[in-house]
């Protein structure tokens, strides 16, 4: 063949060889990329292991709704695996992440796309093994170290749960307990009083807890170990739930429960277990007579982690105070602060009469990310303005919040409005103390009157201060404040708890409306409600009096009513498991007109600091007053040498609010109900 290029034959051969090598290299590279793409696909897909995912939406441990999980995986939460013998679907969720709906707990859990009446037929079957339980928690909290692996959930009404199947294992134990809970469908509109009754299957029921945070009960003899397989079958027929639990080497257990005719219609029907576990936290409701008969129900399955990082003082049943590493997913996974459940088989059957459950998802998807304003929880906010712990003010509290000072929280059963303020920040002109406190816009005279109510719990008071100073470790939760004259305070409601004590004191103070122009001689007279009055102090800076026997714990709920009618103040204080206390005080005629009228308590507490005034004869008559409510921190950083009643010498970290919050130098008060309005005739 003739050479047409004019180039030497050797050079032509060299060029041809180079092109061929290049083409081969490109072909190999393309094949390699294709192989990488194919290898990136998971070897196993969950929907191939258990082919029933068309019936569910998948909620992940970050709170998101992943939808129908066919051909889907998420390596952090949901994927398939092989244990060397069998294929499994893994549901994994940390102690803390974003949650779904109003829950405190994270979940990687299937939620059924349809809901059905308990009067129709429905069945769920599953075979599983629990591979990990949170490594931290509080042993006194029933929910610690547990995970829910299957549920029936209501889609309507209170959205309660007639079935929750738990696995729980304490640290150091080889065996854990399997039990199931029935949650009442609470009668009435107030669902905060709902409770669970727990049935043991293998091991203990829900109510068996430790004696302190790190002391566990004895290991259950017939329990289930991590990695040990068990199965459950849930069948509903004509309003009755039939449960069957099986595991090799364990006795089969069966139960029945009527879902449409309650056995808890009256308080007398409440089981002893519930009285001991739930009544102390105020969850003492009764169930509607027909239970869940009128509601749509649906199944859930997966890993619903019951161990969370919320403080046990918020709720001693559901808030376990576990390690969460600030929500860092990988850190939680690294040190065992997560729940992991593997399923190898599951099946679902429901009636053709089942209907769409879309309403449940539209109501709960991303709910934890939505802002719920204080004015949505307590709707009287339009009648108040607020001063917050950094000195900022806001006059329009409708659809307003501040995440550092004034916001809403959920305690496991209901929403509350939180008021939080540091030991040191920016205060009002005439005060040494910070406050996140409502200020009523309306003013009224005692003869005209007014009424303020509140249901609250104190979540924190400063952990530093001087025990000899009456105001140390205290917060004011409600006030009447004068708007003119000396601007004194005829009513202040206090909570005070010394460090190391479990119980604190609730008391109220009356401040005289000082006679004359010199207000420096004003003083308070303090009246005990539960526990001590203000005058009970320590013998040294760190020497505290004995703990009050009838005191109120942090996180314990109580209510007050301040009713001024025709110049008389009527006070009522109530709390579950405490005596109701009532008091009256005349606001328009003084009992402290002469020096000889000063009470012994005042002579002990205030006269040594030169506050020994008398009160004008008509007290606060004709003077404009207004209500205040929230958290008015009485613990400050001022030297006790200045004033041994009000200057507490507490730690303030130079006024750095973040450091104060981090180190306990703050007060925090939650309210779930409150009203304001005109005074009413006393009962």
**Residue 448 maps to which CATH number?**
2.60.120.200
- Give the model's pLDDT for residue 4: 43
Neighbours of 569 (CB within 10 A): 23
In a domain, 15, yes or no: no
CB atoms under 10 Å from CB of 642, counted, come to: 11
281: closest CA among 576, 580, 578?
576
Answer yes or no: do 252 and 165 share one domain.
yes
Domain boundary among 339, 354, 369: 369
Residue 240 lies in a domain: yes
477 in the same domain as 334: no
| Domain-terminating residue out of 369, 389, 421 | 369
Counting as low any pLDDT under 50, the low residues of the chain are 1-22, 24-41
> Do 418 and 354 have their domain in common?
no
Laid out side by side, the sheet with 230-237 consists of 78-82, 87-94, 338-350, 122-132, 230-237, 240-247, 250-258
Instruction: Verify that 617 and 594 share a domain, yes or no.
Output: yes
Tell me, yes or no, whether 456 lies in a domain.
yes
Domain containing residue 558: 374-677
In this structure, the answer to whether residues 535 and 453 fall within a common structural domain is yes
pLDDT, residue 356, reads: 97
Residues 193 and 70 in one domain: yes
Domain membership of residue 11 (yes or no) is: no
Asked if 281 and 183 sit in the same domain, the reply is yes
Do residues 590 and 605 touch, judged by C-beta distance below 8 A? no
Residues 150 and 175 in one domain: yes
- Residue where a domain terminates, one of 338, 369, 400: 369
How many CB atoms are closer than 10 A to CB 598? 19
Which residues make Cβ contacts (< 8 Å) with residue 579, sequence separation at least 6? 530, 550
Q: Per the domain annotation, does 37 fall within a domain? A: no
Residues 6+ apart with CB under 8 A from 415: 102, 372, 377, 408, 409, 672
Q: How many structural domains compose the chain? A: 2
One domain for residues 506 and 580: yes
Q: Do the domain assignments include residue 683?
A: no
646 and 531 fall within a common domain = yes
Is there a domain that residue 26 lies in?
no
Asked whether residue 175 falls in the same domain as residue 267, the answer is: yes
Which residue carries 């005829």 as its tokens? 490
Q: 217 and 160 in one domain?
A: yes
Composition of the chain by helix, strand, coil, percent to 5:
15, 35, 50
Q: From CA 626, how far away is CA 613, in angstroms rounded?
A: 24
In a domain, 437, yes or no: yes
Beta strand residue intervals within 144-229, DSSP E: 146-154, 163-168, 175-183, 196-202, 224-225
Q: What are phi and psi of 106, to 5 degrees?
A: -80, 160
HSE of 620, CA atoms in CB hemisphere, 13 A: 32
Residue 277 backbone dihedrals phi, psi, to 5 degrees: -90, -45
């Amino acid at each position: 063949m003739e050479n047409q290029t004019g180039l030497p034959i050797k050079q032509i051969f060299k060029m041809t060889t180079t092109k061929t090598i290049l083409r081969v290299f490109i072909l190999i590279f393309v094949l390699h990329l294709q192989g990488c793409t194919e290898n990136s696909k998971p070897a196993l897909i969950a929907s191939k292991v258990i082919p029933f995912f068309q019936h569910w939406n998948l909620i992940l441990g970050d709170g998101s709704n992943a939808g129908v999980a066919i051909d889907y995986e998420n390596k952090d939460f949901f994927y398939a695996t092989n244990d060397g013998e069998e294929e499994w679907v893994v549901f994994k969720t940390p102690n803390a992440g974003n949650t779904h709906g109003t829950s405190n707990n994270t979940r990687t859990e299937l939620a059924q796309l349809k809901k059905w009446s308990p009067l129709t037929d429905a069945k769920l079957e599953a075979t599983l093994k629990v591979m990990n339980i949170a490594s931290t928690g509080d042993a006194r909290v029933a929910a610690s170290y547990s995970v829910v692996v299957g549920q029936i959930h209501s889609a309507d009404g209170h959205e309660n749960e007639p079935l929750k199947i738990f696995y729980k294992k304490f640290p150091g134990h080889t065996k854990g307990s399997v039990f199931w809970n029935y949650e009442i469908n609470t009668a009435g509109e107030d669902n905060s009083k709902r409770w669970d009754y727990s049935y043991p299957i293998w091991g203990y029921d829900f109510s068996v807890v430790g004696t302190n945070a790190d002391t566990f009960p004895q290991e259950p003899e017939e329990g289930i170990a991590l990695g040990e397989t068990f199965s459950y079958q849930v069948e509903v027929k004509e309003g009755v739930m039939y449960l069957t639990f099986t595991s090799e080497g364990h006795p089969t257990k069966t139960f029945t429960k009527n879902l449409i005719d309650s056995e808890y219609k009256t308080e007398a029907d409440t089981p002893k277990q519930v009285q001991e576990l739930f009544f102390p936290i105020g969850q003492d409701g009764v169930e509607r007579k027909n239970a869940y008969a009128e509601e749509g129900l649906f199944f859930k399955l997966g890993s619903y982690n019951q161990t969370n990082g919320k403080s046990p003082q918020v709720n001693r049943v559901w808030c376990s105070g576990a390690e969460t590493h600030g929500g860092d997913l990988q850190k939680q996974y690294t040190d065992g602060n997560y729940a992991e459940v593997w399923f190898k088989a599951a099946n679902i059957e429901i009636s053709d009469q089942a209907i769409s459950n879309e309403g449940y998802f539209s109501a709960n998807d991303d709910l934890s990310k939505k802002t719920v304003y204080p004015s949505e929880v307590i709707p009287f906010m339009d009648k108040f303005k607020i001063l917050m712990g950094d000195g900022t003010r806001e006059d329009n509290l409708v659809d307003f919040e501040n995440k550092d000072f004034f916001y809403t929280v959920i305690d496991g059963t209901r929403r509350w409005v939180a008021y939080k303020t540091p030991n040191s920040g920016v205060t009002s002109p005439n005060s040494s103390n910070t406050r996140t406190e409502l200020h009523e816009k309306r003013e009224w005279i005692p003869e005209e009157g007014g009424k303020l109510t509140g249901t609250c719990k104190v979540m924190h008071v400063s952990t530093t201060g001087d025990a000899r100073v009456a105001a140390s470790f205290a917060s004011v939760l409600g006030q009447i404040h004068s708007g003119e004259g000396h601007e004194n305070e005829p009513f202040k409601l206090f909570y005070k708890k010394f460090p190391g004590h479990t119980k604190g004191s609730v008391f109220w103070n009356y401040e005289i409306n000082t006679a004359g122009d010199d207000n420096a001689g004003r003083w308070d007279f303090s009246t005990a409600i539960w526990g001590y009055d203000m005058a009970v102090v320590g013998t040294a800076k760190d020497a505290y009096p004995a703990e009050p026997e009838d005191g109120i714990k942090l996180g314990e709920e109580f209510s007050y009513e301040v009713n001024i009618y025709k110049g008389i103040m009527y006070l009522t204080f109530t709390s579950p498991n405490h005596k109701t206390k009532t008091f009256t005080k005349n606001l328009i005629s003084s009992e402290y007109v002469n020096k000889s009228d000063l009470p012994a308590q005042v002579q002990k507490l205030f006269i040594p600091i030169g506050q020994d005034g008398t009160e004008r004869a008509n007290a606060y008559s004709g003077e404009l007053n207004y209500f205040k409510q929230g958290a008015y921190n009485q613990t400050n950083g001022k030297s006790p040498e200045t004033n041994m009643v009000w200057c507490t010498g507490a730690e303030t970290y130079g006024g750095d609010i973040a450091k104060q919050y981090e180190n306990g130098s703050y007060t925090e008060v939650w309210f779930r109900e409150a009203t304001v309005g005109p005074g009413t005739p006393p009962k």
